Amino acid sequence: MNAEQVIQVLQAMNQVIDREAQYLTDLDAAIGDGDHGINMKRGFAAVSLKLEAESTEDCGAVLKTVAMTLISTVGGASGPLYGTAFLKAAQAANGKTELTKEDALALLTAAIEGVQFRGKAERGEKTMLDLLIPVKEAYADALAQGLTLEETKQTILTVMDESIAFTKTIRATKGRASYLGDRSIGHQDPGATSSYFLIKTVMDSVG
Amino acid sequence: MKKIINQPENIVNEMLDGIVKAHPKAVKRVEGFEVLVRANAPVSGKVALVSGGGSGHEPSHGGFVGTGMLDGAVAGAVFTSPTPDQVYEAVKAVDGGKGVLLVIKNYTGDVLNFEMAAEMAGMDNITVKHVVVDDDVAVENSLYTTGRRGIAGTIFVHKIAGALAEQGADLDQVQAVAKKVIANVRSMGVALTACTVPAAGKPGFELAETEIEMGLGIHGEPGTHRAEIKPADELVDDLLAKILEDIDYSDSEVAVLVNGLGGTPLMELYLMNRRVHEALEAKGIKVYKTMVGSYMTSIEMAGASISLLKLDDELKALLDAPAETPAFTQL
């Protein structure tokens, strides 16, 4: 995947977030402050505009533009978290004009480390990490086992569906939903859901 | 949704322009950013205070920019933390060479964005420290939550730390007194109605005609429980009970803040204040100072919070020090 294709994926992410904004906001209204979709939509719309003018061949530079734009437009907790995720991915992609499937794993790993550092969170706290970490593990396994692209996609989709469902069963201990205690159980995590859409968009764009 | 607005996405920008036009001698905008600073910023040789958060809590925080309180306030989108670049601009605009204290309310987004801004300012060799206000006793402070939320008690931090900074104290001293206020202030609120974030266009939750929610957060976060509306005195007693069991106020002097959430008239706040005084007197707690009004609002939400700050001689003197800001003036 070259820089132009990375930009196409990000433009597709904007369309998906735009389409799902109300759904994300409704999920957030149930256990947070009801602005996740609004904020993500604002951020990715700004990313889309910025990338229309982007002409670099460096995949890292593209991702850095995304990071800085998200940091300066999203706000809330998701701005610094997604911003840091893309910034760490940008560092991992720095200087690369072509991203391989192994690079994709390195980027995802770096992004997750960024989210963990910024949010001081672990898996199992009802956050986007409960989607991202299982996806990363499934993807690493798929690469190690030499699965085909189709098999890899199917495996990850299954893991994502299970992970999203899992966020409904656990209690939030990070973020605003943590104030609800046990009342957060039964609700799907909005951050994990937006991560679901972003990863799904990447998968739909390859192959 | 029925609101006096133009475009929802322009509300914050247009509101800040309106504040500056109302108080041109007190505040100015940082060009191109959603930041209000003192008209004479930066004040050389003084520790500067910057606060902020999502909009919708007016007069917080822009209304408290001025002599004796804040140097700068950053306004995020409605109920959404401002971004790090905005906070960073505020820090640069107010730094008078003695460092900057960030007063952050305890919400994950605010803490993350302000921390990132502090890291950015650190690269410019501006000394930045911060305090996190977590006065809301409605939510449990435990290992299993993000900690208590910051609500109306934040006004006491602005007032007292701002007064000490004005007297020429250094950054460590200003941070220390801010922490002392945070350690001694507790608040709790009750909501009678929901509010509508303009970009969302509909209320974030519903309360039935006679239903109230105890401990509801200033962004509509769920509180401790829902109940039927009851007389003012009983509501006050319920709120005070939670506050008083949290720290030992016995035999102490306190400052009281009866804060409206935006949709509750002063008439009702004064009724509440009457009961607060009665109840505290009965418990032998002496009220040193009282503030009644809408200081930390939640757009048009009906409801109120009570904050009690336990005082010592230092806090009393700083609370009494002069301040001149758009929303709070004391000579």
**Where residue A7 sits, what CATH number does that domain have?**
1.25.40.340
Tell me how far apart the alpha carbons of residues A192 and A195 are, in angstroms, rounded to a whole number: 5
pLDDT of A86-101, one tens digit each?
A: 999 999 999 999 999 9
Tell me how far apart the alpha carbons of residues B89 and B78 are, in angstroms, rounded to a whole number: 19
Distance from CA of A180 to the nearest CA of B (A): 7
The contacts of residue B65 (CB under 8 Å, 6+ apart) are: B26, B27, B36, B37, B38, B71, B72, B73, B325, B326
pLDDT of B142 reads: 60
**Quick check: bond before A134 cis, omega within 30?**
no
DSSP state of B127: -
Residue A91: count of CB within 10 angstroms of its CB: 16
pLDDT of A109-118, one tens digit each?
A: 999 999 999 9
- Are the C-beta atoms of residues B190 and B216 closer than 8 Å to each other? yes
**What percent of chain B lies above the pLDDT cut of 70?**
99
ipTM: 0.72
- Are the C-beta atoms of residues B226 and B212 closer than 8 Å to each other? yes
C-alpha torsion angle, residues B112, B117, B119, B122 (rounded to 10)? -150
Mean pLDDT along residues A153-171: 94
* Cross-chain CB nearest to A76 (options B85, B109, B139): B109
C-alpha angle with apex B278: B60 to B241, nearest 5 degrees? Answer: 65
Mean pLDDT along residues A168-185: 84
Q: Which of B197, B279, B272 lies closest to B232 in space, CA to CA?
A: B272
Q: Which domain holds residue A43?
A: 3-205
Chain B residues with CB-CB distance to A181 below 8 A: 140, 144-145
pLDDT of A76 reads: 83
Name the superfamily (CATH) of residues B10-183: Dihydroxyacetone kinase; domain 1 (3.40.50.10440)
pLDDT greater than 80 at residue B281: yes
pLDDT of B293-331, one tens digit each?
A: 999 999 999 999 999 999 999 999 999 999 999 999 998
Mean pLDDT along residues B14-30: 97
DSSP letters for B164-179: HHHTT--HHHHHHHHH
Count of domains observed in chain A:
1
Quick check: B112 and A81 CB within 8 A? yes
Chain A residues with CB-CB distance to B107 below 8 A: 77, 176
- Are the C-beta atoms of residues B216 and B223 closer than 8 Å to each other? yes
pLDDT of B191 reads: 97
pTM across the whole model: 0.86
Fold category of B185-319 in CATH: Hypothetical Protein Tm841; Chain: A;domain 3 (3.30.1180)
Residue B312: count of CB within 10 angstroms of its CB: 11
Structure tokens at A177: 């939903």
Where are chain B's structural domains? 10-183, 185-319
pLDDT of A54 reads: 87
* Cross-chain CB nearest to A77 (options B108, B197, B199): B108
**pLDDT band at residue B269, thresholds of 50, 70 and 90?**
very high
Tell me how far apart the alpha carbons of residues A7 and B76 are, in angstroms, rounded to a whole number: 28
DSSP H helical segments within B185-289, as ranges? 232-244, 266-282
